[in-house]
Amino acid sequence: MAAAKATGADAIHPGYGFLSENADFAEAVEKAGLIWVGPSAKAIRSMGPKDEAKRIAEEAGVPVLPGYRGEGQELETLARAAKDVGFPLLIKAVAGGGGRGIRLVSKAGELKAELESAVREAESSFGDGRVMLEKLVEQPRHIEVQVFGDAHGNVVHLYERDCSLQRRRQKVIEEAPAPGMPDDVRAAMTDAAVKLAQAVGYQGAGTVEFIVDGSKPLGVDTFWFLEMNTRLQVEHPVTEMITGQDLVAWQLLVASGEEIPLAQDEIPLMGHAIEARICAEDPADGFRPGAGLILEFGLLQPIDGETIRWDAGFETGDRVPSNYDSMIAKLIVHGEDRDAAVDLLTETLSHTQLSGVPANTGFLRRCAQSDAFRDGTHHVNWIAEQGDALTQPPAAHQHASVLAVCDIELDDSAAVTPWGIRDGFRANGAPVRKAAVAVGADVDWFDPSEHDVDPDAPLPFVTDISPRRYAVTTGGDNVLVEVPDYDADVEAVLGGDSVSAPMPGKLLAVHVKPGDTVTKGDPVAVMEAMKMEHTLPAPRDGVVESVEAAAGDQVAEGDVLVHLEAE
């Protein structure tokens, strides 16, 4: 607010994170004489606590799942309520959001432990340990409706989005409209969303989320109110692309007292749009987020803004911090129908390059290529059910990446003297044409003549970052390939004599002391970064020579934590 006054601004737009759903902040902005670009503090408060939001929804005639939303929070009270609701069920933090404070309870014997865990997380995350119980939908789809209201009593919807592709209750790929949505169900769902917005006098952009029973065909009796997000959503670009509207411009118009620009029957529905969240995380390592310097980042194809949109918060040369969420960009595509949009998404993900930090682009491409996503039969739990099939890059992708680098390193076309030709000539033996190649911590000698190129593997895209360092993108899977200059460099890397911090963060525990014997893979230390705990393993068998840091220390990326005795 001080910055707004100092610059002469008369309004504050909170974006879609941090303070965007903070009623106290919205109220403070208005009391300071500034315009709040968003719903009123009263509307935010009414939709904030999940139990109160569901009570209002029920009164407005919006379908709500069976559950317990009472004041009593004692174990005995909740146990009786759980019996009435029936197992399996979900425990949900009343003040929750972002997938936190949620626990699955399959049977009565699990209730006490899961309840205690949910309450602890809710108190830590939201400062409010209250919970509610809700009947579990076992193959849920997540479908939400974009609503918009103004100060003149007008409320419209801009159709629905399907956000069912999730990992750990966090959205991965979102699309609009929802696949397989019948006209009568769309009418019922959007009508319910508009009724709820009207019930709280809603102004600005908002999203009404519904849970849908994915085990049955979409019907007017298979969806229930989940919650309302009183802000602009991360995935709002897919709505913009199918309607041709600028939702942020709508927000500014409404905040300035104008009416919504279009009546309900004037809002078009054009084609299909899909958004993929580009994150600095490693799906193969439990979606571990990664901080660090971005060496190369961007799309390796033109962006026209109509069929391909690229919303990025980072670029080559930026450093990804460990303090925030791992999402660093959004890729949005539009096609004349869903098949065309899926094809464009998979193609564009193959041309998305991110090196220096982990990337989920290959994982996103495998999700989009799957039969379940193509058919629209995926659901919220689907990614977890697939295991390594989605999270592990195909060996052919890394193989193709290494072959591409070896081809560059062993290229003789630039040689100007016989001494520069690397043809592997030996006076008394067979030619040897090998390159020492490092991918991550794995270093080995590689002879291209001993390997065939998989004809079905995607074409690798190689970017020369610095001498003998290459960023390679193959089918959306990004690797950093390095070529050590001398044999000694190879041996040094292969030695693995230390454990270093992979990113900035706080050291939580050190499990070894000098003189301890460790086996490769043993947990050596635990650190916290990007809101997650990370266990650091021993790189090889050996004896601990020294420990360079202690629990509680703040460490930088690359700081050596533990040394092993030289072999």
The residues assigned a catalytic role are: 231
Contacts of 277 (CB under 8 A, 6+ apart): 171, 172, 173, 234, 327, 330, 360, 364
Which residue shows structure tokens 């041309």?
351
Q: How far apart are the first and last CA of the chain?
A: 60
Contacts of 459 (CB under 8 A, 6+ apart): 400, 474
Assign 225 to helix, strand or coil: strand
| Cα–Cα distance for residue pair 543/243, rounded to 1 Å | 63
21 close to 230: Cβ distance less than 8 angstroms: yes
Q: Phi and psi at residue 61, in whole multiples of 5°?
A: 85, 20
Across the beta sheet with 517-518, the strand order is: 498-500, 560-564, 542-547, 517-518
- Which structure tokens are listed for 31? 């009391």
137 close to 216: Cβ distance less than 8 angstroms: no
- CA distances to 139, 156, 382, 491, 540 from 165, in Å: 12, 26, 7, 43, 38
Q: Which of 139, 331, 354 is nearest to 238 (CA)?
A: 331
227 close to 47: Cβ distance less than 8 angstroms: yes
| Cα–Cα distance for residue pair 551/60, rounded to 1 Å | 53
Q: What is the dihedral of CA 319, 325, 329, 334, to 10 degrees?
A: 170
